[in-house]
Amino acid sequence: MARAPLRRGGPGVREPRVRRGAEPGRGAPVRHHPPPPTMVAVRAREEVPARAGLPPGVPPPRRRLMPLFGSFRIGRWFGFPIRIDYSWFPIAALVIWTFTTREFPRALPFYPSSTYLAMGTAAALLFFLSVLLHELGHALAGRARGVEVEHITLFIFGGIAQARDEARRPLDEFLLTAAGPLASVALAGAFHGARVAAEAWGAPAPVVTVLGFLALLNFVLAVFNMIPGFPLDGGRIFRSIVWAVTGDLVKATRWATQGGRLFGGALIVLGLFNLSRGQFISGVWAAFIGWFVVNAASSSLRHFELRTLLRRIPVATVMNPRPRMIEAELPVGRAISDYFLRGREEAYPVARDGDLVGVVEAQAVSAVPKDARATTPVAAVTRPAEEFPVARPDESLAEALFRIRIQVSYLLVIENGFVVGALDPREVGARVQRLHRMGLVSLDRKPVAARGPASGEDLGPPPARSA
- Say if 153 falls within a structural domain: yes
Residue 135 a catalytic site member: yes
Residue 371 lies in a domain: no
Buried b (16+ CB within 10 A) or exposed e, 208-221: bbbbbbbbebbbeb
Residue 65 CA to residue 6 CA, distance in Å, equals: 33
CA separation for the pair 237, 324 (Å, rounded): 49
Residue 31 to residue 35: CA distance in whole angstroms: 11
Cβ count within 10 A of residue 113: 10
CA 292 – CA 301 distance, rounded (Å): 14
Same domain, yes or no: 84 and 215: yes
Indicate whether 100 belongs to any domain. yes
Helix (H) or strand (E) holding 418: strand 418-423
H or E element, residue 80: strand 80-85
CA distance 444 to 281: 45
The residue out of 268, 290, 311 marking a domain boundary is 311
CA distances from 198 to 129, 206, 215, 302 (A): 20, 11, 13, 48
Predicted pLDDT of residue 189: 96
Closest CA to 365 of 357, 353, 354, 373: 373
For residue 146, being part of any structural domain is answered with yes
Say yes or no: 262 and 130 in one domain: no
Is residue 120 in some structural domain? yes
Buried b (16+ CB within 10 A) or exposed e, 417-449: bbbbbbbbbeebeebbeebbeeebbebeeeebe
Position 390 scores a pLDDT of 82
Q: Taking the complete model, does pTM exceed 0.75, yes or no?
A: no
Residue 188: what pLDDT?
96
pLDDT of 434 reads 81
Distance separating alpha carbons of residues 294 and 300, to the nearest angstrom: 10
217 and 133 in a single domain? The answer is yes
171 with 211, same domain: the answer is: yes
Residue 132's domain comprises 71-226
Say if CB 142 and CB 171 are below 8 A apart. Answer: no
CB 262 within 8 A of CB 298: no
Q: Which residues contact 317 (CB under 8 A, 6 or more apart)?
A: 435, 448, 450, 459, 460, 463
Q: Which of 403, 341, 412 is nearest to 383 (CA)?
A: 412
Please report whether residue 101 resides in a domain.
yes
Evaluate whether residue 288 is within a structural domain.
yes
The reply to whether 100 and 211 lie within a common domain is yes
- Cα(332)–Cα(15) distance, integer angstroms: 28
Q: Which of 135, 345, 361, 415 is catalytic?
A: 135
Task: Select from 293, 311, 329 the last residue of a domain.
Answer: 311
**Burial tier of 110 (Cβ tally within 10 Å: 0-12, 13-18, 19+):** exposed
* Per-residue confidence in pLDDT tens, the chain, 467 aa: 443 333 333 333 333 332 333 343 343 333 333 333 334 444 443 433 444 444 444 444 444 333 344 778 888 888 899 988 888 888 889 889 989 998 899 988 989 999 999 999 999 999 999 999 999 999 999 999 888 888 888 887 678 888 877 788 999 999 999 999 999 999 999 999 999 999 999 999 999 999 999 999 999 999 988 988 888 899 999 999 999 999 988 899 999 999 889 999 999 999 999 999 888 878 888 888 888 889 888 888 888 888 888 888 888 888 888 788 899 999 999 999 999 898 778 888 898 887 888 888 888 999 999 999 999 999 999 988 887 778 888 888 887 777 665 556 677 888 877 888 888 777 777 777 788 777 777 766 555 544 433 333 333 333 333 22
How many domains does the chain contain in total? 2
Is residue 361 included in any domain, yes or no? Answer: no
What's residue 408's pLDDT? 62
Contact partners, residue 295, CB within 8 Å, separation at least 6: 264
Residue in 12, 23, 17 with CA at minimum distance from that of residue 466 = 23
For residue 371, the model assigns a pLDDT of 92
Rounded Cα–Cα distance for residues 385 and 110 (Å): 65
* Residue that is last in its domain, among 226, 256, 285: 226
212/277 same-domain check: no
Residues 219 and 253 in one domain: no
